[in-house]
Amino acid sequence: MDIDTNRSMSSEAAEYLRRAKACSEAAERTTDPEIREMLLRLVADLTAAALSAASSGSTPPKPGSPSCAACARLSGG
């Protein structure tokens, strides 16, 4: 997944995209198809949140939130 977080965007949107990239990389590494599917759903949700944050200025996911915790747990982090 090629995501350019250096472009001009809100820090919130950039944070969502960084997390989406981490989930995408974890999905590429896993051999479990169910885990891969779950991670790819998180990528889609985080990417949508980034688009929303970029247009509305919402806040990034907080450490320990379901999407952050799931990605960290599934990626072994």
Residue 51 Cα to chain centre, angstroms: 12
The number of domains in the chain is 1
Q: pLDDT tens, 35-68?
A: 999 999 999 999 999 998 888 754 555 555 555 5
Scan for tokens 């790819």, then name that residue.
40
Scan for tokens 């907080």, then name that residue.
62
Residue 22 lies in a domain: yes
Residue 23 lies in a domain: yes
Residue 65 lies in a domain: yes
Domain range holding 20? 11-74
Residue 32 lies in a domain: yes
What does DSSP assign to residue 64? T
Residue 3 lies in a domain: no
Q: pLDDT tens, 9-27?
A: 678 899 999 999 999 999 9
Residue 68 lies in a domain: yes
Q: Are 17 and 50 in contact (CB under 8 A)?
A: yes
